[in-house]
Structures are given as C-alpha cells and as structure tokens.
Amino acid sequence: MAQEADTLMAAQVYSVQVYPVTRAVEEAFLPALVTAPTQVADVLRRFTGVQVKDYGGVGGLKTVNVRSLGSEHVGIFLDGIQIDNAQNMQVDLGRFSVDGLEAVSLYNGQKSLRLQSAKEYATGAAVYLRTEAPRENGLRLRLRAGSFGTVNPSVRWNRELGKVQLRVGAEFTASNGKYKYPYFDTTLVRENGDISSLRLETQLFGKTRGGQWQTHLYSYGSERGFPGPVIRRATGFPFSAERQADQDLFFQGSWQQDWSGRYATALRFKYANNYTHYNTHPEKNPMALPYDLHFRQQSAYLSLAQSYVLMDPWSVDLSTDYQYNALDSDVGQFVRPRRNTLTAALASRLAWPGFRLAAHLVYQGTWDQFDERQAGGWSRENAFRGVWMPSFSIFYAPWRWLEADAFVKRSYRLPSFNDLYYSLMGNSSLEAEQAFQTGLDLRMKWGTGPWKESLRLSPYYNRVSNKIVAIPTSSQFRWTMLNLGLVDVTGLDARSETTWEQGDWALTIVLRYSLQQALDHSTPGSQIWGNQTPYVPLHSGSIDLQMGWRDWTLAWNTSLCGERWSRSAHTADYYLAPWSLSDASLSYHWKELCAGIHLRNIFNQHYALVQGYPMPGFNGMVSLEYNW
C-alpha cells in the first residue's frame, strides 16, 4: 500500500522526502478492522514485541511496553504531538478510543519523517495515533452495547465550512465492570470496577497554498472505581471503595508549510490540563487508608521543525521543542514541581527510492524547579539534566521482493515527578534512564494471481541501563529511587501475512511470533541475576484470520502467551501459566448501515496480565453504525 503511494508521489519534486526513512514495524488501519476494538490498547496488544499491562475491565489501567524498554520509554503521539504525563511517565491507553482514529502504528527505531517534532526523535519507541483525514459532509452514528452493562454510543459530524473542514465528535462509555473471576477456590464478581466517561472533540482542518493546518480541542471526563487486587480479605469488608474522577482537556494544533519546495516548516503547539481526584472512601471501607487527594497537571508545548533540501535527495532537518510541565497536589509535603524541557534534533537524510540513509542527533535539556519543603531529601544541585541521543537508520530495497531496514539508537527517559519529588520516596538527584537499541527488519513479499504473501523478520537487541528503581532506605517507610537497574533484551519478532482474493471472496491470515529474552543484570551475585524480568513471556504470538464474502466479514483472532513470572525470582508463587485467548467477529454492510457482533474470550479462559488482576471471561458486544 505504501509502496504504491511512493510511486504515485514520485512525480512531485523532492517526493522521496515525504515518507519516513524506515517503515512502521506494525500498522493497523482501523476502519478495516472488523474485530471492533474500542480501545487503542486492544489494537496494540497484537503487535509483535509489545506487552500491554492491563488491570482488567473497561476502566482498568492499560499501559504499553515495547521490547521490554518499559512503558516510560514509549512515546504516544496523537497526530505527531506527544500525549505526555510528567507525573509518572505513563499514558493510560484505556482512555483513548479508536473512534475517530484512522491508523495506529508502531516504530521501534526512528520514523525519521521530514518535519518531525524533536520529541518524536527522543523516545525509545513511538506509537502513532492518526486521526481520520477530513471527509465529505456527513454524520456517523454508532452504538455499541455488550457485556458488563457496557454502552458506548458515539457520533461524528463532518462539515465543510468554506475552505475549512470541521469535525465534531462525541463518545460516551459506561460499564458496570461486573464480571466473574476465580477468587482462590471460589468464584466472585468484580465489584467497584464501573466507569463512565465522556469524550468531546472538535477538529478543524485547513489548507494554505503549499501547506495545511489543523487544530484539535479534546476533552475527556471520567469517573471510575478501582476494584483492587485479588487478595485474602475478611468476610464483611469490601475489597475496595476507591474512586477516581478525571478531567482531561487539551488544545493542540499544527501548521505545515512548504515555502519554496526546498524549505518547509512545521509549527506545533499544545496546552493540556489534567485534573485527578482520587478518594479511597474510608467511610465505605474500613480497610481503606483515608486518602482524598487532588492532582492538577498542566503542560504547554511549542515546536518548530524546519526542513531544507540541500541537494536532492539530501535534506537536513532542525526541530526545536519547548515544553513546560507543572504538577500541583494536596499530597503531604508536596513540592509542586515545574519542569522546562528543551529538545533539539538535527537530522540529515539521503533518500533515494530504494535506498535511504539518515543520521539524527538529539539534545534534551530539562530544568526542574520545586518548592522548598521541610521534609527534605531533595537537593537543588541536580535540577538540570542534559542528554545526547544519537541514532542512525538505513533502508535498502535491493529487489522488489526484499526490503531491509536497520537502526541503532540511544535514548533516555527522564525521571518522572513521582520518581523525583514524591513524599517519602522521591530522590531529586536521579539521572535519566538510558536505552540503547539496535534492530533489523527484513521484509519479503511475493505472490502469484490471487495470492500475496509477505514476511517480516526482526531480530533486535536492547539494553536498558541506569534503570530507575525504588529501593528502601534505613526505614521501611522512607524509600528512595535510584538508577540501579540493568536489563539486556534479545529478541526476534516475526510476522507473516497471506492474502487471497478472488471474486466475492477475500481471505487474510496474519501470523505473529515474538521471542523475547529480557534478563535482569542489575546486581551481579544477586539471587535474581540473569533471570527473565517480570511479566515478559519468552514466547508469544497470535493468529489473525479474516474472511470476506460480499458484504459479510468474519474475523478470528487467537493470542498466545507463554509462561511468565510476576517477580524476577522464579518461584511457584509467582508463576503465571501460559494462556491463549480467542476472539471472533462477524459484520455485515448494507448500504449506509453496518452491523456487527463481537465475541471475546470465546473459550472463557481465566487469565491475568498482571498478577492479582483477573481479566474478564467470555463476553460479547454488538455494534450498529449508520452513515449519512
């Protein structure tokens, strides 16, 4: 698909600058997915090399970890602008709906696209969420409903206003989160796992001569309960009464302009305001610690990317980003951290159609400020952190049936506000955590007549050093964060896709396999040295089957996960058995109408991605969509 686009654009001047140097390692086009995932996490969990941590249910936290780098190293970008969280460096993917998105893609190395922001160069791995391109006037209504009292209506309205395209979207989700789970030798129903959320967004798209711009106003409000881990609890006491309310708001925009054919710029901005109210409700739960906390995080972001074609096909890019983060809270001894981050990236690219070469150098400097507080443990000496991140990418397509790209990259993830400044925990002298990555992607494709076959093999090696870990001090109640961890990751991702199309019939089979050895090399001589790190399966994979006949589409997915341990110590208590999970979907298109039925965990398997947080058994959903 991308190859065709390449040819199409070849007529334009400097066209080879329009595509990334390396290809996405995985890309999912959402309108084509009939399996109807409602959350971005459901799309990502099938990608090779990706582990999704999921605490279960619609409202449970979902984070993504790529090739054992740690979720803090994975940048999540919405239309090229990062969704960031300075408080804990983790983005809850459960909050991002696939509604309104066109594609989700994953890059392990550098995407290295012309006019990228500096922050795009500065993450270990990058997940790109792309909203749908502007469309013709129309209204789309969708209603989904299913197990656990889940209702999910959404509406999207596209309108052309002169030269400007407007899109307004709204989505409501409610679920009672009640599902059966094995509680030791009996079965209980998950309580206090309900959620309701409302997402409202407005997007504007416009064109200038030689350029385009877009803005995005996004608000997300939710109220949810946390059911808590499965533990022994005295009869009569609830497991949890914890509730959290969130109000997230952001306004972002970008303007890309080609000034002369040689020189082009991209301007991006964002303001985000996230408010969280967390309450353990001790009046409802005698086991609760009486916390009633409020957090407000604000960030402002401005980015300018410039690209200049020195001599076709050689171009250089300079991207400069500035970001401000602030966190306020009524937590005891809170020091109200503020952070200024300047990121600058210099990229140089040589891009012929069959051969592309790119070198990048990123500098990121952060300056933290915080209030003086009595509790101490924080020093101002290390408030400034500066890191250099070099990387190289190469792409080579010697024959039509073979493509290869390779990368080597060093990146850092900054310590979060929690790592540095949290009461009785933070350590302000932490350094940034370092990731060294190198990988190779080999892609082959062939086919005759109705058959098409493609195969990708991706061996890789990562080393995460100076890993930030929590360590107890002389008192069990006062911990500290230290740069102590070291993990070596060696792996192989493989993906095969077979398609067959004839007459009214279409068939796609995608097979994925991941081999991942992530070994703890933190403390030589320790009991756990050389052990596989928690939650990483050595083997995992999936089988995707999609079959179409006229207006009918049937899809089947089976995911497989090998044995895991929830601790580095591989004892029986921390063993997590292998599991397999199968989903199926059937959908039917009739003129403007689309109806579907989606069955998940068909064989009602009991499994958990995180020990103590059981996932739902068999469940289903129906969906109905109408387009005017």
Contact positions toward another protein, by CB under 8 A?
184-186, 228-237, 282-283, 286-287, 289-292, 330-333, 374-377, 423-424, 427, 429, 469, 471-478, 480, 482, 484, 526-528, 567-569, 571, 573, 611-612
Nearer to another protein, 153 or 377 (CB): 377
User: Who's near 621: CB < 8 A, 6+ residues apart?
Assistant: 36, 38, 144, 145, 146, 147, 150, 597, 598, 600
Q: Quick check: helix, strand or coil at residue 137?
A: coil
Q: Closest by alpha carbon to 344, among 79, 85, 119, 125? A: 119
Shortest distance, position 57 Cβ to another protein, whole Å: 17
Nearer to another protein, 53 or 360 (CB): 53
Nearer to another protein, 531 or 558 (CB): 531
Nearer to another protein, 218 or 417 (CB): 417
Helices (H), 245-299: none
Shortest distance, position 576 Cβ to another protein, whole Å: 13
Shortest distance, position 374 Cβ to another protein, whole Å: 6
Nearer to another protein, 304 or 484 (CB): 484
Q: DSSP for 19-86, please give it.
A: S-SS--SEEEEGGG-TT--SBHHHHHTTSTTEEEEE-SSTTS-EEEEETTS-GGGEEEEETTEE---T
Nearer to another protein, 478 or 539 (CB): 478
Nearer to another protein, 150 or 240 (CB): 240
Shortest distance, position 477 Cβ to another protein, whole Å: 6
Pairing of strands 608-610, 613-614: antiparallel
| Number of alpha carbons in the 13 Å side-chain half-sphere of residue 326 | 8
Q: In b/e form, how buried is each residue of 363-374, taking b as 16+ CB within 10 angstroms?
A: bbebebebeeee
Per the structure block, which two tokens stand in for 234?
A: 């005295």
Nearer to another protein, 262 or 567 (CB): 567
Name the residue type at position 177: G
Shortest distance, position 466 Cβ to another protein, whole Å: 12
Shortest distance, position 112 Cβ to another protein, whole Å: 37
Q: Closest by alpha carbon to 495, among 47, 56, 171, 189? A: 47
Nearer to another protein, 202 or 480 (CB): 480
Per the structure block, which two tokens stand in for 494?
A: 């493989």
Question: Would you say 109 and 405 are in contact if contact means Cβ atoms under 8 Å apart?
Answer: yes
* Phi, psi of 30, deg, nearest 5: -70, -40
Q: Closest by alpha carbon to 217, among 252, 246, 166, 266? A: 252
Shortest distance, position 287 Cβ to another protein, whole Å: 5
Q: Report d(CA 8, CA 381) in Å as an integer.
A: 55
Nearer to another protein, 260 or 474 (CB): 474
Shortest distance, position 226 Cβ to another protein, whole Å: 11
199 burial type by CB count under 10 A (0-12 exposed, 13-18 middle, 19+ buried): buried
Q: Report d(CA 272, CA 268) in Å as an integer.
A: 13
Q: Which helix (H) or strand (E) holds 561?
A: strand 552-561
Instruction: Give the residues across from 328 on adjacent strands.
Output: 296
Nearer to another protein, 163 or 232 (CB): 232
The gap between the terminal CA atoms of the chain, to the nearest Å, is 28
Per the structure block, which two tokens stand in for 49?
A: 């090399």
Nearer to another protein, 180 or 452 (CB): 180
Shortest distance, position 388 Cβ to another protein, whole Å: 25
Shortest distance, position 421 Cβ to another protein, whole Å: 12
Shortest distance, position 209 Cβ to another protein, whole Å: 56
Shortest distance, position 186 Cβ to another protein, whole Å: 8
Q: Report d(CA 549, CA 185) in Å as an integer.
A: 46
